[in-house]
Structure 1
Amino acid sequence: MSQLPLVAGADPARPLDALFVNAPLRDYDQRPRTNDYTLPVLGMAYIATYAQQAGYNVGVLDAEAHGLGITETAKLINDAAPRWAAMNLLAPTYEMSARIAAQLDPGIALMVGGHHAKAMPDRVLADPRMANLRALVLGEGELRVAALLDDEQRRRELPGVLWRDRLLGTRATGILTDKKRSAEMLGPDIDTLPYVNRAFLPQDPYQAAPTETDRRLAVSRGTPLLKGAARSGHTEANIVGSRGCPYNCTFCGAAVSANPDVLIRVRAPENIIGELDALHEEYGVTAFRFVDDLFLGVGRVIEEQMEAFTRHKIGERYVWDATGRINVLDRVSDRELDRLVANGLREVALGIESGSDRILKVMDKRINAAMTERVARRLVEHGIGVKGYFILGFPGESHDDIEATVRHVHNLWRIADNNPGDIRASVFEFRPYPGTPVWQTLVEAGNDPAALLAYGDVDLTEDGADESMRQRDEFNFSVGIQFGSVPLSRVRSTLAALTREQHDRNQGNQGAAA
C-alpha cells in the first residue's frame, strides 16, 4: 500500500480503515467531463475528518472531481483495499454508485448515507448491487461512522443505522436506549466538531479567477480589494456555517418536512471566524463561500454573525459569499446592508426560482416577483452581487408562467446594468428528488417512481448552448418528463436562450473591464 492514486487525505503507509467515495454523475469512461471544477463534498470531508481525529486511517476518492468512470473508480477502491467503502447516495448519482458497488471486492464492507439513502432506504437495501451493504446511516454521520469503524457489531446500538438481516431478509435497525446519547449521535454539537481537514478535498481551497462582482466591487469601493485580489483573483474555500433549514420549499431535499429529525443549528460566530483564520493561515484563503441555507436566511443569525465579524474586522481581511433568503433580506435595513458590505459580503445566492407568483406559491417559497426585484435592487445598489437560481418546467407550469420567468430575468439584468452590483442568472430544468414534498405529490398523481428516478443528460447544444458555456455542466440533467403544460422542447430552448444570454453578458462584462 505504498501508493493510493487520487485518494485524498489518507496515510499510504497504513492499512486503510475507510475510503469515502463520491460517485461521478456520469460514467466518464463514456463521455469525458467538459469542466474542471465541481463543488467539494464538505459533508463527506466532515465525517472523514472526525474519523481521522478518532485515530482511523481514512481517505476520500472524489470520482466526480477527477472525472473518473465507473470501472476506473471501482478498480481504485479495490486496489486501495479499505476495510470499509463509504458512499454518499444522491438521486442523480445513485445508479453510478450502485454500479460501482457491484464491482467491489466482496471483502470490502459497504456503508452508505446521503439524501437518497434517507429518502428510499428499503429500495437501497433491496438492491442486489448493494449485496455487501452492512450499514445505511440516516442523517449526520460523524459519530456513528466512527463507531462503525471501531466495531461493525456496534451498529445494533447506533440509532438511525439500518442493514439487511441476511437470514431473515428483513430490515434491521440499531437502537440506543439512552435518549440523550441517541440525540447527540443523530445531531452532534457542531461547535465541537473539528474543522474540515482540507487534505480530503482535492479542489478546495482553489485559486479563483476574478469575477465581474470582484471588478465591480473594486470600482464601487474605490480601491483594489485585498492588495490587488480583484485583479488577480482569490484563493477561495467553501464553508458551512449551520445545519438544517426551517423552510419547506417543495422541490428541495433540505425541506423541513423531509428532514423532521434534523436539528437546526448555527455555529457560534467565534467558531466560524476561527476556521476562516485557520484557512487563511494554512492556505492563504482570502475569500469564502458559505453554502448552507441559514447564514443569511434568519434575521437573528445575521445580527449575531455580523456583530462578531465587525469586532474581528473580517471585512478588512476577507471577502465572502453566502446563500440568502429573499423574504429575510427584504426586512434587512439599509444600515444592516451597509454593515454586510463593510464586513466583506461580495455576493448572495438567491433561490428566485420563478417569475410567476402562482408557481412561487405552489413551491411554498414565501416570496413574489416584486419582492425579489426589490431585494435585488437594494443589494446591487449597495454593490453586493446576486446569483439567482431559476427552475423551468415545474409541475403545473404554463406558457404564461415561463414567460413571466423570462421577463423576470430580464428585469433583474436591467436593474444590474444601472447599479454597481452584478446579477447572474443560473437556470435549470426541474427534476424531482425523492423525499421532497413535490415528489410525494407527483407519485400520488400517478407517476412511476422508477421513471422519476431515470436521470439523464440534458444536451443543450442543439438549442444553442454549447459545452463551453455550461461551466459546471454536471447540473444539467433531467428525467425527461413533461410536468407542466409546456413541451419539454420549449422548456429546454428557453433554458438554452437564457444560458446563452448570461454567457454573452459575462463575456461583455469581461471585455468592458479589460
Structure 2
Amino acid sequence: MRGEFNYSANNLDLLLLNSPLKNYELFPKLNDFTLPTLGLGYIATCAEAHGFNVEVIDAEALGLGVSQLAEIVNKKSPRWVGLNLLAPTYQNSIEILRQLTPDIRIMLGGHQAKAMPTTILKERRIPRIDALVLGEAETRVPILLGDVESRQSLPQVFWREGDVAVMPKVTGYDPSLLAPDINTLPFVDRKHLQQDPYMDGLVRESAMVASRGCPFDCSFCGAAISANPDVTIRMRKPHNLIAEIVELRNVHHVERVRFVDDLFLANIKLIREILSAFVEEQIKIQWDATGRINVLANASDDIIDLMVLSGCREVALGIESGSDRLLSHIDKKISVRQILTAVERLCRAGVNVKGYFILGLPTETRQEQQQTVELIYRLQDLTSNLPGRFRCSAFEYRPYPGTPDWKRLVSAGYSEQEMMNYEPETLAELFQEKGLRDRDEFNFSTGIQFGEVPVSETRRTLAELMRRQKEL
C-alpha cells in the first residue's frame, strides 16, 4: 500500500525531499514499494531534537511527479528545502529546484554531492545553492538551520555566491561534525518515513541501520571505502540496537527488522557480540541483514547456529558474478567456491538467502555473463531441497559517480554526462511483463554497453531470470 502524506501548509524550518526516480506525471509508477529513506529520517529527527520544525516527503514512495512535488514545496514555503542528490534522480532533482520560489534556501547532500561537489556548484541549471553538505549531516544541519552564516566555520559545507563556488577549507573542528556518535543519536522518528513500518506479505517490518561506512572497496559500489575517505567506520553497540528493536516492537508492533547497512554480518567478533546479546535479551523478533560471503563461508558452525538462534530469517549476499576473473576485477575479494559454500551453509541451517547479481559489468565477456546465469541456476538447484530458500535479484550494471569503476570508465573515454543519463522506461515496460512490474531491479538504466554483450540481450537475459525466479 502506497504511503499517504498531509500536504497542508505550515511553518517549516526544513522540508527534506527524496526525489522520484521518474517523473510520475509522465510515466506510470509500477512499483508500490521503495526502501525507506533512513538518512533523511535521521537528519529530520536530529533537527527536531534541536527544536526545529522539519518534514520529509518521499516522492518516490508517494509516486509524485516533479511539478506536483515543487507545487507542494512552494505551498508549504519552508525556510530551507533539502535534497539528497543521487545519480538516478539527479535530473529530476534539478527540475524540482528550478521550479521553487526564490525565497526558499536550498540545501543539497547525498552521494552525488560528495562525488562531484565542484560540478554541482557549477551547475547553472540549479538556481542557487545555499549549502552543499558533504557526508553525514546530522550534527551540521541543525547548526545551519540556526544560522546560515555558520557555514563558514563548518567542515565540508560549500555554497555558491552569485556565479562563484565557495569551498572553504575548515580546520580545527569537532570530529563529531563529520562522524556523529551513532550510539547517542536519537532513534529515527518513523513519522518521517512514508513507508516504514511496512508490510512484507503478512509480516510488519521496519528498516534499521546498525553501522556507518564499509571497509571494502567493491569497484561498482557507492559505499566503497575509496569513494568515502571521510567516513569513519563504526558499529552501534548491542544495547543501543536492542533498545531501538524493542521500541519498534512495542510501539510500532514490528515483527521483523531489516538491517540495510553493509556491516552487520561482516565481522565475526561483532557478529558474536551482537547476536549473543540478542539471545540473552530475548528480543523475540526476526531479522534480515546483508552479509559478506568470505566471512560467512569461513565462519565456524557456532556462528551460523547463533544466527539462527537469534532470529535470522534471511541474509542478502552481494554475489555479482559467476566468473572468478570478474570477481577479482571488481575487487569483491570472494570466489565462486566461497559463494557456493556460504549459500549452502546458510540454506542448510534454515536461513533464506537473497543473492544479488549484476549483468553487463565493465570487461564482462559473453562467456562470463553465461557463467553468472549458470551460477544462479546452480544455486537454485543446490538449495531446492534445503530448509532455507535461495532467490536471486539480477540487475543491469549502472555506474555511480565517485566509485572506482567511474574513474576507470572516465579514463577509458566514457562520457560522464551519458553515464548519468538514465532512461525513463523500465525493463518491465520494455517486456510488458505484468509479473515483473513490482521488481525494483528494473527501475532505471543508462542503456550503455560496458561489456561484450549488447544491452538488449542483457535485458532479455534479466527478464528470463526474473520470470524463472517468479515461477520457483
Regarding TM over 0.5, the answer is yes
Deviation string for 1:201-230 (max 9, x for gaps)?
011001221xxxxxxxxxxxxxxxxxxxxx
Query: How much is the aligned-residue C-alpha RMSD, in angstroms?
Result: 1.6
Q: Out of 105-114 and 476-485, give the one that drifted further.
A: 476-485
SS in 1 for 2:139: helix
Cα gap change, 1:87/1:363 in structure 2, threshold over 3 Å: closer, same or farther?
same
User: What are the equivalent positions in structure 2 for 1:143-182 lying under 5 Å apart?
Assistant: 143-166=139-162, 169-179=163-173, 181=174
User: What are the equivalent positions in structure 2 for 1:359-508 lying under 5 Å apart?
Assistant: 359-457=326-424, 459-461=426-428, 464=431, 466-473=433-440, 475-505=442-472
User: What are the equivalent positions in structure 2 for 1:58-457 lying under 5 Å apart?
Assistant: 58-166=54-162, 169-179=163-173, 181=174, 183-209=175-201, 233-314=202-283, 317-457=284-424
1:36 aligned partner? 32
SS in 2 for 1:479: coil
CA contact (8 A) 1:34 1:473 kept: no
Provide the C-alpha distance between the structure 2 equivalents of 1:67 and 1:53, rounded to a whole number of angstroms.
Answer: 29
CA contact (8 A) 1:14 1:57 kept: no
CA contact (8 A) 1:7 1:59 kept: no
Identity %: 49
Q: What letter matches 1:236 in structure 2?
A: E
Deviation at 1:498, TM superposition (A): 0.3
CA contact (8 A) 1:159 1:173 kept: no
Q: What letter matches 2:302 in structure 1?
A: R
Deviation string for 1:30-83 (max 9, x for gaps)?
112012111100000000000001000000011000000010000000001000
Deviation at 1:461, TM superposition (A): 4.7
SS in 2 for 1:379: helix
1:49 aligned partner? 45
Cα gap change, 1:260/1:178 in structure 2, threshold over 3 Å: closer, same or farther?
same
Deviation string for 1:289-330 (max 9, x for gaps)?
00000000111221111121121123xx10000000000111
Deviation at 1:165, TM superposition (A): 2.7
SS in 1 for 2:239: helix
CA contact (8 A) 2:429 2:437 kept: no
SS in 1 for 2:125: helix
SS in 1 for 2:89: helix
| Ranges in structure 1 where 5+ consecutive residues have no aligned partner | 210-232, 506-514
Q: What letter matches 2:165 in structure 1?
A: R
SS in 2 for 1:456: coil
| Ranges in structure 2 where 5+ consecutive residues have no aligned partner | none
Q: What letter matches 2:243 in structure 1?
A: G
Q: What letter matches 1:83 in structure 2?
A: R
Provide the C-alpha distance between the structure 1 equivalents of 2:6 and 2:146, rounded to a whole number of angstroms.
Answer: 22
**What's the TM-score once normalised by structure 1's chain length?**
0.89
Cα gap change, 1:144/1:248 in structure 2, threshold over 3 Å: closer, same or farther?
same
CA contact (8 A) 2:84 2:110 kept: yes
Provide the C-alpha distance between the structure 1 equivalents of 2:155 and 2:325, rounded to a whole number of angstroms.
Answer: 41
**What's the TM-score once normalised by structure 2's chain length?**
0.97
SS in 2 for 1:320: strand
CA contact (8 A) 2:276 2:310 kept: no
Provide the C-alpha distance between the structure 2 equivalents of 1:448 and 1:66, rounded to a whole number of angstroms.
Answer: 33
CA contact (8 A) 2:122 2:165 kept: no
CA contact (8 A) 1:464 1:500 kept: no
Provide the C-alpha distance between the structure 1 equivalents of 2:439 and 2:96, rounded to a whole number of angstroms.
Answer: 23
2:5 is the counterpart of 1:6: yes
Q: Out of 108-117 and 299-308, give the one that drifted further.
A: 299-308
1:226 aligned partner? none
